[in-house]
Amino acid sequence: MSIFIDETICNGCKGLPEARCERICPGDLCYRKENTKAAIRDQSACWTCASCVKECPVQAIELRLPFQICSSGSSLKARLKRDKTIWTVWDAEGHQEEFIIRTRWLKGD
Ligand code: SF4
Ligand code: SF4
């Protein structure tokens, strides 16, 4: 597995002193380049925890999945909601599927 950051989507967390992906990465691997786009210092040091994938507000970061988990060329992105994480997986042909992981139970659920 590896992390890919799409520079055409990343907005550099404009206005924030520290980018969200920089702040959340437990390995201090994410940083902003001079052009303000995010990058990863060392892919080999990344343990694919997916924290940055979940934290990016514009879904610029994806987790590339190995063929042992999904078909070749598949990726995973996430959207964080108050009580759930919505994961989207898609394959090389562009087929998409969403699945939801509940992260907490709200009153009335
Ligand atoms: S997947 Fe985890 S360790 Fe890897 S860059 Fe993202 S936050 Fe850091
Ligand atoms: S959190 Fe997303 S938008 Fe913000 S700097 Fe990182 S990749 Fe770019």
Which of 21, 28, 29, 59, when mutated, tests ligand 1's pocket best, judged by the most ligand atoms within 8 Å of its CB? 29
The string of pLDDT tens digits covering residues 48-69 is: 999 999 999 999 999 999 988 8
The string of pLDDT tens digits covering residues 77-104 is: 999 999 999 999 999 999 999 999 999 8
Would you state the pLDDT for residue 104?
A: 87
Task: Kindly report the number of other CB atoms within 10 A of residue 70's CB atom.
Answer: 17
Instruction: Give the domains, in start order, of the chain with CATH numbers.
Output: 2-102 (3.30.70.20)
Among the bound ligands, name the one nearest to the CA of residue 11.
2
Amino acid identity, residue 44? S
Return phi, psi of residue 53, to 5°.
Answer: -60, -45
Contact 4, 64 (CB under 8 A): yes
